[in-house]
Chains A and B, each alone.
Chain A
Amino acid sequence: MSLIDEDEALIAAALNGSAFAWEKLVKRYESKIYNHGLRLMGNSSDAMDLMQEVFLGVYRNLHRFRGDARFSSWIFRIAHNKAVDLNRKKRLLAGYPVDSDNEGDVFDSFADEEGEEPELELLQSEQNRNIMAMLNILPFEQRLIVELKVFQSLTFEEIAEMQDISENTAKTRFYTALRKLKSVTEEYHVLS
Chain B
Amino acid sequence: MSCPKTPHILQEYLADDLTPLAKEEIDKHLLQCEHCASELEVLMLTQSQLANWQAERVPHWDRGMELFRREHRVGKQSSSWFSAWQWMPTAASFAMLCLLIFNTSVEVGDGGFSVSFGSPVSDMDAALAAFEQEQRTEIDSMIARFESRQDTNNLQLMQAVMSQTQQATVENLDQIYAYFEEQRRQDMQLMSQGYQQLADSDYATVQSLQELAQFVSFQGAR
Instruction: Give chain A's interface residues, CB within 8 Å of chain B.
Output: 1-3, 5-6, 9-10, 12-14, 16-19, 22-23, 26-27, 30-32, 34-35, 38-39, 44, 48, 51-52, 55-56, 59, 123-125, 127-128, 130-131, 134-135, 146, 150-151, 155-157, 171-172, 174-175, 178-179, 181-182, 185-186, 188
Contacts and interface: CB of A to CB of B under 8 A. Distances in A.
Contacts of B76: 17
B5 to A, nearest CB: 13
Interface SS majority for chain B: helix
Contact of B58 (A3, A31, A186): A31
22 contacts: A1-B168, A3-B172, A9-B178, A19-B65, A19-B68, A26-B63, A26-B64, A32-B55, A48-B59, A56-B67, A124-B56, A127-B54, A131-B49, A131-B50, A150-B47, A150-B51, A155-B16, A172-B11, A175-B7, A178-B14, A178-B43, A182-B43
Contacts of A19: 65, 68-69, 72
B181 interface: yes
B113 interface: no
Interface SS majority for chain A: helix
Contacts of B177: 6
Interface in B156-203: 164, 168-170, 172, 174-175, 177-179, 181-182, 185
A18 B189 CA distance: 13
B75 interface: yes
B78 to A, nearest CB: 9
A34 B58 contact: yes
B10 interface: yes
Given A131-B50, A181-B50, A156 B72 contact: no
Contacts of B175: 2-3, 5-6
B56 A9 contact: no
A28 B66 CA distance: 18
Given A128-B54, A128-B56, A182-B46, A175 B10 contact: yes
